Structure 1
Amino acid sequence: MLKPDYPLKTDRLILRPFAPSDLDALYDLQSRPEVTRYLLFDTRDRDAVEESLEQKTRAAALTEEGGNLSLAVELAETGQMIGDVILFWLSRERRQGEVGYIFHPDHGGRGYATEAARVMLRLGFEDLGLRRIIGRIDARNTASARVLERLGMRREAHFVENEFVKGEWADEVVYAMLEREWRAG
């Protein structure tokens, strides 16, 4: 089980559980085509974002395999929510997880996604005791690939036309890191 002592802080960011007051910021994020372009879901209307937020507010702890920890990411300096990060617990037996992130395009290129995802890797490896964490992306999402590479994850697989997303076949790339690589890094 993983229930972090919130808020989690880095030099520039605060990671915390989602709250109902995050609706406007989350809507601003999930309603943008440039944000959802490489995601499995399309742009969301306000009702769909409300449903998404309800799920996220319940994901402040990882209590069982198959669950996820979903956290809002704020700029420490202003308190503005600029994105979210997620850690999925894929398998208890195999001690495997998956990391993901979505950030507002106005805050891209500053290392925030890498900084926040690094916190999720730490939680997965050091607090939850995972042995392996993956990151799965659409092969066209080169910005996300750079984030995973900066985290020290290795590109392990490229699945050609693996997913049918938004009416087209898309390639999927999988990155991974082992606990021993995390500790050595």
Structure 2
Amino acid sequence: MGFFPDFPIVTPRLILRPFTRGDVDAVFDYRGRRDVAFYLFDGPLSRDEVATAVQQRVVQIGWNEPEDKIVLGAELRETGTLIGELSLIWRSEEARQAEVGWIFHPEYQGRGYATEAAGAMFDLAFRDASIHRIFARCDARNGSSWRLMERLGMRREAHFREHAIFKGGWDEEFIYAVLRREWRDGV
């Protein structure tokens, strides 16, 4: 199942679009921060690491096979400012499952942008890609992320306690999910 959606995706306040090489400075502005990297697998990224990551994201705009990613920048419609990114990873062809993720600049958190952007990604996955189930995961301490999942109508399916070593300590992780029929019913 190949899936290559049309971009951009326009919401009331945002434009979700593929990355370009010109996004390096904007991405470095949030991915270079220690507070942003705290819950991510990697640490704060250098500008060169961001440039490499952006170069990879430029082509992550569709799916040919499981584990392929769609990674989009979230840009404010009003100003054109890139404020974050979202990923949609195709995890299973047979079970029609995808994983969603997001990273937003702290200066733009708490304004509903992540909820708006993630909702658009859910619409893309469920309506256009015929995904059956979307799941997301986060560090149990990351209240901003799991509260966003709950605002999106996702339910907590798992709480893994001390299941892995993460940045030198035991990790606790929440898994949330929503089914296509639940999303449609909830809209």
TM-score norm. by structure 1 comes to 0.97
- Name the residue aligned to 1:60: 61
Corresponding residue of 1:170: 171
2:113 corresponding residue in structure 1: 112
Q: Report Cα offsets for 1:17-52 as digits up to 9, x if no partner.
A: 000000000111111011111111111111111111
Hey, what's the Cα distance between the residues in 1 that align with 2:101 and 2:173?
Answer: 14
**AA at the equivalent of 1:147:** L
**Hey, what does 1:128 align to over in structure 2?**
129
**Shift in Å, 1:167:** 1.3
Q: Work out whether residues 163 and 172 of structure 1, in 8 Å CA contact, stay in contact via their aligned partners in 2.
A: no
Which whole-Å CA distance do the structure 2 matches of 1:99 and 1:32 have between them? 22
1:63 deviates by: 2.2
Structure 2 residue runs of 5 or longer lacking an equivalent are none
Give 1:2 deviation, angstroms.
2.2
Q: Distance in 1 between matches of 2:163 and 2:20?
A: 35
Root mean square deviation of aligned Cα: 0.8
Corresponding residue SS for 2:100:
strand
List runs of 5+ in structure 1 lacking aligned partners.
Answer: none
Cα offset, 1:164, TM superposition = 1.7
CA distance in 1, matches of 2:185, 2:4: 25
How far residue 136 of structure 1 moved from its aligned partner, in angstroms, is 0.3
Inter-partner Cα distance in structure 1 for 2:136 and 2:57: 19
C-alpha deviation, 1:147, in angstroms: 0.7
Q: CA deviation at 1:104?
A: 0.3
Match for residue 42 of structure 2?
41
SS in 1 for 2:29: helix
**Paired residues, what number?**
185
Q: Match for 2:31: what amino acid? A: Q
Inter-partner Cα distance in structure 2 for 1:162 and 1:103: 26
| 2:104 equivalent in structure 1 | 103
Q: Secondary structure at the match of 2:74?
A: strand
Separation of aligned partners in 2, 1:164 and 1:84: 26
Mapped to 2, the partners of 1:147 and 1:4 lie a distance apart of: 25
Deviation, 1:122, is 1.0
Normalised TM-score (structure 2): 0.96
Confirm or deny that 1:8 pairs with 2:4: no
Are 2:136 and 1:139 aligned? no
**How high is the sequence identity, in percent, across the aligned residues?**
49
